[in-house]
Structure 1
């Protein structure tokens, strides 16, 4: 156990706790949606959070939501994967980042087809097409920006800069998910489920990555 870094131990313990909580939350929501249950919180958010076009919040969220679009995340994911492949000492970072993004995309699309929840409103302009549950913008954003936060937390040595950068990307991910409700293309439970699923998959990828990095360090130290 002496050769396991503190960051690895923290990641494993905290990761498993988050994994259990987020997976449980997603399964509970998915089960209720499959049973066609109506959620009071969805109605509240639709009545008070879904702003009409032309309002200042709606206009801001039109811009924010693009940071979680398929096109934007695809382009950025390719750039990040290429950067990690050439810049990092270990190619595992690039591999698991790619698995993280490709995996969450496939999982989200399969679940949408299985659950088949209709959207509150179909607006192709904001990527609001297809089935609603879980929110693809939410799953993709949590997976993408969450992995960026993980890299920053590990690699940024200046404490205040680490906290500021990680907090910024966390806020971006939350804002993207929130924008889907404001724009009226998702139910609130869609984004909660999406963020839960995205975080579950992200933690699985990070735990697997940390384990392989630890094995690599252990093998080098013993040789």
Structure 2
């Protein structure tokens, strides 16, 4: 039912202008973009956190782990997509949305790094808010472009957030143990 309502809503707001924007936004959750951006984040973490390279390790575990989990669930559920649109990375199975799991972990880890940084409070809130909004936009773009159902995206968000929280909790525990 939620998938039907989501599709109906998208049909009601679809415009050429929005089609272009959503196509661009969806690329910020693509495998290619996330791999390239992850390499840059790894380099940043390597140099920014001199003696605390555990962040680098857990970031890598988070990104590789969510990729494996998403693929395993896709082949387990084998849910067909609403439309097969290779133009927007709409290939393979639909559930859960990899464009929701990957960005949730990638941008979510950036939110964690920003929140733990020594930036001014207003800048932290602004960056964390923008990154969180981007996660939601990427997920919405998948439904808008008709390559995922709403439930694929919601499940992707839930899986990504769960995995992200597990990785961050273990990281924080590791850092706490190192201090002792």
Cα deviation, residue 190, structure 1: 0.3
How many angstroms apart in 2 are the aligned matches of 1:69 and 1:51?
A: 26
Q: Which of 173, 176, 179 lines up with 1:214 in the alignment?
A: 176
Find the structure with the greater CA-based Rg: 1
2:152 equivalent in structure 1: 190
How many angstroms apart in 1 are the aligned matches of 2:2 and 2:93?
A: 19
Cα deviation, residue 157, structure 1: 3.3
Q: Which of 107, 119, 123 lines up with 1:161 in the alignment?
A: 123
TM-score (norm 1): 0.78
Higher mean Cα deviation, 108-117 or 74-83? 74-83
Closer/same/farther in 2, CA of residues 205 and 126 from structure 1, 3 Å limit:
same
Cα deviation, residue 57, structure 1: 1.6
TM-score (norm 2): 0.96
Unaligned runs of 5+ in 2: none
Structure 1 residues 130-169: aligned runs within 5 Å: 130-169=92-131
How many angstroms apart in 2 are the aligned matches of 1:192 and 1:144?
A: 17
Structure 1 residues 93-172: aligned runs within 5 Å: 93-172=55-134
Alpha-carbon deviations, 1:117-172, whole Å to 9, x = none? 00000000000000000000000000000000000001033111110000000011
Unaligned runs of 5+ in 1: 1-39, 219-223
1:88 equivalent in structure 2: 49
Residue 173, structure 1, aligned to residue 157, structure 2: no
How many angstroms apart in 2 are the aligned matches of 1:96 and 1:45?
A: 35
